[in-house]
Amino acid sequence: MGRDEKLYEKIKNNPKSVTFEEIDRLLVNVAGFTKRNGSRASHFFYKHEKLKDINGFVNIPYAKPIKSIYIKKAIKAFEEVMGL
């Protein structure tokens, strides 16, 4: 199992202990999402052309800890883009 698969499994199995850097790495480096700052400085938007749900965007706040609902939405978007 590669490093990216381990990261995905860690995030999926325990969404309450995920850091912003981990979810950012999974979405940007592994799945190819593009990241941009939102109008509020504490939120980031991740966009992917294959993402059909919620207008192609995933919203993640830069907060510690990140609420698990945001992580679950990000995992759902990741799985949709990667075809899992």
Distance CA 35, CA 31 (A): 12
Is the pTM higher than 0.95? The answer reads: no
CB atoms closer than 10 angstroms to residue 34: 11
* Tens-place pLDDT, residues 21-66: 999 999 999 989 999 887 767 889 999 888 876 677 888 988 888 9
Domain ranges, ordered by start, for the chain: 3-82
* Tens-place pLDDT, residues 1-32: 689 899 999 999 999 999 999 999 999 999 89
Given phi > 0 = left and psi -120 to 50 = alpha, else beta, which region is 54? left
Amino acid letter for position 56? G
Residues making up the chain, counted from first to last: 84
